[in-house]
Amino acid sequence: MESSASLELAKHTLLMIGAILAVGTFSSLIARLLKIPDVVVFLLLGILIGPSMLGFVDIKAESTMNQLIMIFGSSFILFDGGATVRLNVLKDVWITVVIIATAGVLITAAITGLAAQYFLGLTPIVALLLGTVIASTDPATLVPVFKQVHIKDRVAQAVVSESAFNDAMGAILTFTVLSIVMGAGDFSIGDAIFDLFKQSLFGIFIGGILGYFAAFLISHEKFNFLAEFAPVVALMAVIGAYMGADGMHASGFMAVFVFGIVLGNQESLGFKLTEREGDELEDFVLTTALIMRMFIFILLGTQVNFSLMNLNLFGGIGVIIVFMLVARPVTVFLCALPDRRAKWSFKEMLFMCWTRETGVIPGALAGMLIGMKAPGAEVIASVTFIAILMTILIQATTTKWLAKKLDLLAKD
């Protein structure tokens, strides 16, 4: 009986995977025809086939399968994004990236918290908790968008790098405020700053070491005995970077992003793949990243809870409007304007104000709060769903249009 039950579960899981791949392929074709980022279509069709509508796919957010897909998928997409970052570009914008990814998260959370207090009538501390949950941007959304919409290098890489680095800050802030809400501790600026530096530095260290080690094994002139297995080495290193950092209570997402940066800039370290092996690795990364995008955003769509959203619909929309049109612009201008090294133009800062989609990481944090039965968790989750829908459907679809208006599209 147990064997039969296990077999039926395996068949059901396989059917879900097949359905997601089929819908994802169809979505990619639609996105190409409409000339919009594919993550937008993935999300919409995910809503269509989810339990709220047709009910074809129903994978619970708390299930092992969903957690596996979200963790590995986000990690691989971040690795792919890191591999596209060029160190010679990043060195000119790193000050802005660091400030927005740290102080910027605090500014965004504070302004959003005030809006939540006003529109939803939440207590100040619960409103701040909501602000911290959605304050970090989503690299899993931004990386695919910038893969399809080619923005000038320094702007694209500043936004993508910020989105990768600010996850640690967002998570630390969320759990710091949560400890106050739950009565488990008092806020300590010193402890929070120490925790941030620890997570960041350990993540950078682990990602850098694994990136160098992987490049050595597949690209060294004499010791590249794993060159033919470059895709497998990259896959193992992505998993190793995330798990290694997580095991040391550091940022796993930062580790895989830095791993991608090192592997993508291996020529500056004196390593170089042959043309054939480089093409094979690139094809593998592009295909795997596409599949991960399909799974992440289709599943994210199936898990949108409309009944939960409706409880705080109008107040939530008000909060997200402030979030998009006030909190983000204030954050960008306060953090980027003083950076005299980067010398951002008004058009570049305006574009950065608009590109800050919410997605996997805030969704996961909201899910954790519900699981922990935190005060205001359902309100926070409903507003997070609204943020995901509004930012992806509005901002991601207009990224290319805005970049063209601001003359920020890269020349082919």
Q: What is the mean pLDDT of each run of 10 residues along the chain (412 residues)?
A: 72 85 89 80 87 82 79 83 78 87 90 94 90 83 78 85 77 79 65 74 88 85 76 88 86 84 83 78 85 85 79 90 94 90 89 84 75 81 86 87 88 64
- Domain topology for 67-405: Na+/H+ antiporter like fold (1.20.1530)
User: Residue 409 pairs with which residues in a beta bridge?
Assistant: 151
**pTM score, two decimals?**
0.78
Q: What residue ranges in 162-260 does DSSP mark as E strands?
A: none
Q: C-alpha 398: how far from its chain's center?
A: 19
First to last CA, the chain: 60
Q: Facing residues of 151 across strands? A: 409
Q: Residue 253: its pLDDT value, please?
A: 79
DSSP per-residue codes, 258-289 = HHHHHHHTGGGGT----HHHHHHHHHHHHHHH
Q: What is the pLDDT of residue 412?
A: 57
Distance between CA 146 and CA 270 in Å, rounded? 28
What is the rounded (10 degree) CA torsion for 200, 202, 207, 212? Answer: 130
Q: What is the pLDDT of residue 323?
A: 95
Q: Which of 317, 337, 321 is nearest to 382 (CA)?
A: 317
3-class secondary-structure state, position 340? coil
What is each CA distance from 239 to 70, 71, 194, 232, in whole angstroms? 13, 10, 26, 11
Tokens 């591999």, located at residue? 83
For the CA atoms of 327, 298, 69, 192, the dihedral, rounded to the nearest 10 degrees, stands at 10
Give the Cα separation of 78 and 242 in Å (integer).
Answer: 11
The predicted pLDDT at position 115 comes to: 95
pLDDT reported for residue 111 = 95
The amino acid sitting at 412 is D
Is 334 exposed, middle or buried, given 0-12, 13-18 or 19+ CB atoms closer than 10 A?
middle
Q: Are 330 and 87 in contact (CB under 8 A)?
A: no
Nearest to 382 by CA among 390, 68, 45, 140: 390
Q: Report phi then psi at 151, rounded to 5.
A: -95, 155
Please tell me whether residue 397 adopts helix, strand or coil conformation. helix
Per DSSP, 410 falls in state P
Q: For the chain, what are the domain ranges? A: 67-405
Residue with tokens 């793949």: 273
